[in-house]
Amino acid sequence: MPRCLTFTAYLHRLVAVGSAVLVLALTVFAASPELHEHVHDATHTHHDEACPIVLFASSADAPAAPLTAPAPLPTARTLAPVIAREISLAPPRYLHPPERGPPASLIS
């Protein structure tokens, strides 16, 4: 059974694929200086701060200092005290619980 995509659903998928391809391309060009230089013309000799690849690469850097979690505080751990040695259950209210309601003649 073929699915018919509406125009908006098709447009959403097209934008999602385009965004994924753009991020992948920026990552490849930011990681490879040779490919980055191949994108620019022959007169371009230095990295321009307005270049989208340079902007992407500068914001994708790892922070200078690694983030560390604080050390856990020491806590005293003890076993739970024993409350009772026996479990005392209340006796059942009925020996055999009622299986049916009252007779229909007693319902008013």
> Taking the domains of the chain in order of start, what are their residue ranges?
23-61
- Residue 14: its pLDDT value, please? 95
17-64 pLDDT per residue, tens? 999 999 999 999 888 888 888 887 766 656 566 788 888 887 755 556
Q: How confident is the model at residue 1 (pLDDT cuts 50, 70, 90)?
A: very low
Helical segments of the chain, H only: 7-31, 33-39, 52-59
52-84 residue pLDDT tens: 888 888 775 555 666 778 888 888 888 877 777
Q: Model pTM greater than 0.75?
A: no
Residue 29 CB burial class (10 angstroms; 0-12, 13-18, ≥19): buried
Specify the pLDDT at position 34.
Answer: 85
More confident residue, 83 or 106: 83
Q: CB burial class (10 A; 0-12, 13-18, 19+) of residue 37?
A: middle
Tell the burial category of 76 from Cβ atoms under 10 Å away from its Cβ (0-12, 13-18, 19+).
Answer: exposed
